[in-house]
Amino acid sequence: MYLSAWAVKEINLDLEVVDEARLHQLNELDELRHEAYENHKLYKEQTKKFNDKIIEKREFHVGDKVLLYNSRLRLSLEQLKSKWSGPFVVTNVKAHGAVEVAKSAGTKFKVNGQRLKLYYKGAFICQVEIIYFDDAPL
């Protein structure tokens, strides 16, 4: 089969156009991947910032009385039983929120600080404001 010079030039031009279109598509694909990566990074930063707001910062000092959350009671059938046990005394505060507590002089153990809350003996005393309505509507 014989091809004219004009047909060969047309085929070469078509191949060049196709090559350029393919390179353009590959560049767009790289840009989309980069954009998706950046969106994922922003999402992770925002969720971390949100979750860090939820976490309560608790500071314990040696000698504080604390209550320990007992997570095993959550699955029990005894609904009226308290999920907090204690009070325990803080004997040592470790790095990254670990706290060493003791029930009595001999039993010491380490727990995560997120499972503890300060123990206040007795009820809170608060002021009660009494408002009298002289002209109450009927």
Q: Is residue 131 part of a domain?
A: no
Q: Is residue 1 part of a domain?
A: yes
Q: Is residue 71 part of a domain?
A: yes
On whether both 50 and 73 belong to a single domain, the answer is no
Range of the domain at 6: 1-55
Q: What is the pLDDT of residue 35?
A: 96
Q: Using one digit for the tens of pLDDT, what is the confidence trace for 27-79?
A: 999 999 999 999 999 999 999 999 888 877 788 889 888 998 887 655 555 66
Q: Is residue 16 part of a domain?
A: yes
On whether both 27 and 70 belong to a single domain, the answer is no
Confidence of residue 126 (pLDDT cuts 50, 70, 90): low
On whether both 82 and 111 belong to a single domain, the answer is yes
The CATH number assigned to the domain holding 88 equals 2.30.30
User: Is the per-residue pLDDT at 130 higher than 80?
Assistant: no
Residue 101 has φ and ψ, to the nearest 5°, of: -125, 160
Domain count, the chain: 2
Q: Provide the terminal-to-terminal Cα distance of the chain, rounded to the nearest Å.
A: 108
Rounded to an integer, what distance in angstroms lies between the CA atom of residue 100 and that of residue 95? 11
pLDDT above 70: percentage of residues in the chain: 75
